[in-house]
A and B are shown apart, each in its own frame.
Chain A
């Protein structure tokens, strides 16, 4: 199974900050990586897939990059609505697995 890690586990930031979350895989993913946002009491929301393809309606301040085993989610200017937990997920092979999550908190 491919293991996923994320760093940091918690991130404290202010509105307007540039935020970067890193996701690492135990083996190369061939670009098959997605990012989700989850708010308390809600189901996860898919933000992007194939490393950097944003779903419709996702603000352009979100971007993804990376290749091989290391990937990043960047929020260019943090907005109040962005305080949430973010998960990466690989879908290179079964079983698909998620990272442990990064909580973005208000500083």
Chain B
């Protein structure tokens, strides 16, 4: 059973960098599939942030691309999200996700972490 678990600070100051890690169990990241991050501002809808393959192919939401970095650690079977220069608008629940099928480079997400709330406030 594939499981994803987000971790990271729940509070980040404006202008600083939001850093989250997603630990994956039950499947090796390096074996395939695209992985990614989706966020949800409190009480609002879902926003896709980024999708990537372990070997380097990465797709970004254009609205966030200049501020987003993804790091993959296959030895620990985890990946990280860095979002720089955060503002209150980045306050959201952040989910790590996996694409449904190994054959698609984009698609629906069938595995989701439980989500972690990150608040941007001084």
Whether a CB of chain B sits under 8 angstroms from the CB of A54 is no
Known: A96-B48, A98-B46, A101-B45. A44 touches B106 (CB 8 A): no
Chain B interface, DSSP helix/strand/loop, else mixed: loop
Q: Which residues of A contact B110 (CB under 8 A)?
A: 46, 55
A91 within 8 A of partner (CB): yes
Q: Contact size class for B?
A: 20 to 34
Q: How many residues of A contact B (CB 8 A)?
A: 23
**Inside 8 A of B63's CB, which chain A residues have their CB?**
95
For the residues of A in contact with B, the DSSP-based class is: loop
B109 sits at the interface (CB 8 A):
yes
Besides A43-B95, A44-B95, A45-B112, 13 more A-B contacts (Cβ < 8 Å) are A42-B114, A43-B115, A44-B109, A49-B100, A87-B45, A89-B46, A91-B108, A94-B51, A94-B106, A95-B61, A95-B62, A96-B51, A98-B47
Interface residues, chain A, with chain B CB atoms under 8 Å away: 1, 32, 34, 36, 42-46, 49, 55, 87, 89, 91, 93-101
